Structure 1
Amino acid sequence: MVSSAESLVARAHESCGLTDLGPGGWRGGLDNLVSATERDASDDPEAVERIEALLVQRLVTRMRIEEWYSEHAREAADPIDGPLMIVGLPRTATTALHFLLANDPGFRYLRPWEVNNPVPPPVLGREHDDPRRPRVPPAANPRHIVAVDGPAEDWPIHALAFDHAELTLPVPSHATWWRGTAHPDLFPYQERVLRLLHAHRPPHRWLLKTPAYVFLLPEAAAHYPDARFVFTHRDPVAALASTCSTVAAARRQRTPSWSPDAAFGPSLLEHWSVGVQQAMAAREAIGPERFLDVGQHEIESDPVGTAERIYEFTGLTLDDEVRLSMRRWAEANSQGARPAHRYSLEEYGLTAAGVTDAFAPYLERFASHCFR
């Protein structure tokens, strides 16, 4: 049996002794996650148990954030300076670009160890000794570039807001609901968490990245009027095959009893094809001056030149020391530096023709950036 949202909140309260869950807007997402767990996973008790534990953990983290704000709100007064936001389909070199640009100390970015456990905020100069920071480097991963202090996606903050598609959980009906709902409270909450995190660890210009931004551009552009967006591209045939493999691996890690069914691949095809359609429409409304398009092949073949284009686009200065750091990082992380990631569309019930058809308007518009 799946627990109610009220019982999950009660479990979180009992766990930490706190009650304040912060600004509104989170309850609708939690309610729908509970309903989706009932619909999609109730026949798998192990999956239900793991999902509920994760939701309780998120509620506890929200309560801890509010406890911090009740005592330290003045310390979070510094606003966010014009963030640079990386957006694009998954598996289009968003991570490589994120890591490349993170060589610039002028950017503040999320580290995995702080985004998953943000309270108390890290302190500049003491981070190496922070007890949350792993002492052992992560193992090489064929799907992801990983580093102890490397940049992390900001979707965990979206998950704390209960405003996330949850593709790595076996609750596909939640993703359907999420992409059809509004997100007015997401970015105010994201900023609340980011202000906490940079309270004692400047700078305040954030480098943010998550593929889910393809669904969220209107809200992001409105909340951060000085934000600029770098949109990455790749042939969806290759990108979606890699995405299916990556999401499947993440779901197995979260809920080991899960395995892909016939609907898994088609559901991801629908999700991301809808996402790029929404992004294309949003770009027209927001204005082309806030977007720069970059192909994965450009990031791989000329990473520093790509960075130079981005800095020119944003009006920032790329100094020689940072340029050298970027070049060294790119040389150490070129193709072949990690174990090969092997995947195919056919494993997930998809075909190249079907993917190409679903992304036809996108390919027509961005063909010059889309290579496999």
Structure 2
Amino acid sequence: MGSMTFMSQATPPMLRMLNVLLLPGARTRQDPDAAFEKLLAEAQRGHRPLGAKDLAAVEPLRLLLRAHAANPHLSAFGWTTVQGGIRDRLRNRTIVRDIQAKHPEVKEQPITAPVFVIGLPRTGTTFTYNLIARSPGSRGPLLWEMLNLGLPVQDPAERRRIAERTTKRLSFMDRLSPDWSQVHPLIATSEEEDFFLRDHSEMHTTSSTVPEYRRYLEGADLTDDFVLLREALQVMSFGQEPRRWILKHPANLWRIPEILRAFPDARFVWTHRAPGKALASGCSMSEVLRNMHYKPGTVDLEAIGAEWLAMLSEGVDRALTQRDQLDDGVLVDVSYSDLVEEPAKVMRGVFDSLGMAWTETDDANLAAAQDRPHHKGHKYTLERYGLDEFQVAAAFAGYRLPSVLS
């Protein structure tokens, strides 16, 4: 693109202090392979070591760390944070393997006909996801469960303690960036995206530009990643009465074949909306995260726009090709405009397509969702990121929005 547009925003005092305190530790980015080995050792501490197959499977996370280390704009806090994210994913795999070794029967825990709510950001995915996940007989993974992966906690008091501890941990983000709670509020006791249980996603590029990792994902088969998700869900529900798992993450949209290899009986609900809103929202989220993770004055807004335009348009093109290979009834379409106009009618239709009964509980959940306050502070435009509607229309030329309300 042409001239770069940099974001200049006052850095919160706490973030400035953290960057100073963490500066000595940032020297480890000079040797990202050594840093990765240290993260791997930390993740396995107190658990059975990973076997050769798993060690090979986590190598792309090493690539991700190298890509972050190569970004000259990443701050000391940013480097610390991306390492923490990779450590969490290494720990997830280690915990799953450790539990499988101690309780081999966990591999028999049924995961039947899970539903993946797919769609670009700001297309009604969260609204749709929450209604399906909170229906009797269904469930979505709660954020505190994913951030503290392990066998189900039976004691209600202990569950509350873990959730409260997780809430305190998450509140740190709000203190570092007042804008974050307007973009994607993280609620420990609420359903969240399966991103927290898996290794890979294009969304790793949100907080830092990592072109080498993006190139890896373009040709990667992430079946192993979704098998790991299945195994984590088995751990989280082990010994409990089976409920239908409901899952969501934007980048799942263009991973339908890999999902079906890991979950052969999976169903999909694809929410649709004109992509300009989704694109601007994703750019805004990336801007807020990069303000936290980058050195002051180095956030390039036009670069964010170019990255997200390519990522979402290429992803949608892949998803359109993939959906053509699906059997009838595997995927349900939801129009955002229909969902806004007649949410009860649309969602009853979705439930019927999924073989789910609509109950009084679902009526109550719908009323509660409609009453939920919206985050009006999150405002975004395409133009802020060097984009316009003509570019968006050209990039998404093959995407035709369905209207399924009848």
Q: Secondary structure at the match of 2:206?
A: coil
Deviations along 1:32-85, one digit per CA (max 9) or x if unpaired, are 213312333477444333322332343234323322222223245212010111
Q: Distance in 1 between matches of 2:157 and 2:267?
A: 28
Unpaired segments of 5 or more residues in structure 1? none
CA distance in 2, matches of 1:43, 1:85: 33
**Which residue does 1:195 correspond to in 2?**
234
CA distance in 2, matches of 1:59, 1:326: 36
- Superposed, 1:119-138 pairs within 5 Å as 119-123=150-154, 126=156, 129-134=159-164
Tell me what 2:99 maps to.
68
Residue 60 of structure 2 aligns with which residue? 29
Task: Say which of 82, 94, 110 aligns to 1:79.
Answer: 110
Q: Which residue is 1:10 aligned to?
A: 38
Q: In the TM superposition, what is the alpha-carbon distance from 1:349 to its structure 2 partner?
A: 1.0
Q: Within 5 Å, give how 1:1-372 maps onto structure 2.
A: 1-5=29-33, 7-14=35-42, 16-18=45-47, 20-21=49-50, 24=54, 26-41=57-72, 44-123=75-154, 126=156, 129-134=159-164, 141-144=181-184, 147-159=187-199, 162=200, 165-173=203-211, 174-253=213-292, 259-319=299-359, 321-333=360-372, 337-362=374-399, 365-366=400-401, 368=403
Paired AA for residue 4 in structure 1: P
Distance 1:367 1:275 in 2: 18
* CA displacement, residues 143-196 of structure 1 (integer Å, 9 cap, x when unaligned): 34664422101011223xx46551223133122321332223112111111100
Contact persistence 1:217–1:279 (CA under 8 A) = yes
* Preserved CA contact (<8 Å) 2:115 2:247: yes
Preserved CA contact (<8 Å) 2:207 2:293: yes
RMSD: 2.9
Per-residue Cα deviation, 1:104-154 (whole angstroms, up to 9, x for no partner): 13112111111122124333x627734321276978943346644221010
Cα distance in structure 2, aligned partners of 1:308 and 1:220: 25
User: Which stretch of structure 1 is more off in the superposition, 8-17 or 339-348?
Assistant: 8-17
Amino acid in structure 1 at the alignment position of 2:329 = E
Question: In the TM superposition, what is the alpha-carbon distance from 1:282 to its structure 2 partner?
Answer: 0.3
**Structure 1, residues 240-263: CA drift from partner, whole Å, max 9, x if none?**
111211232234345575623431
Deviations 1:14-38 (A, max 9, x none): 5734452365353331132133123
**50-59 vs 344-353, greater mean Cα deviation:** 50-59
Task: Tell me if structure 1 keeps the 8 A contact 2:140–2:247.
Answer: yes
Q: 1:207 to 1:356 in 2, by over 3 A?
A: same
**Deviation string, structure 1 residues 182-217 (Cα, Å, up to 9, x no partner):** 223112111111100111444331001111112211
Deviation at 1:313, TM superposition (A): 0.7
TM-score by structure 2 length?
A: 0.80
SS at match of 2:59: helix
Cα distance in structure 2, aligned partners of 1:72 and 1:207: 25
Q: Which amino acid aligns with 1:60?
A: R
Letter of the aligned partner of 2:49 in structure 1?
Answer: D
Whole-Å separation in 1 of the counterparts to 2:333 and 2:383: 29
Amino acid at match of 2:286: V
Q: 2:201 & 2:393 partners in 1: Cα distance?
A: 29
**Separation in 2 of the partners of 1:149 and 1:43?**
31
% of aligned pairs identical?
26
Equivalent residues of 2:253, 2:315 under 8 A apart: yes
Distance (Å, rounded) in 2 between the aligned partners of 1:148 and 1:27:
27
Q: Secondary structure at the match of 1:285?
A: coil
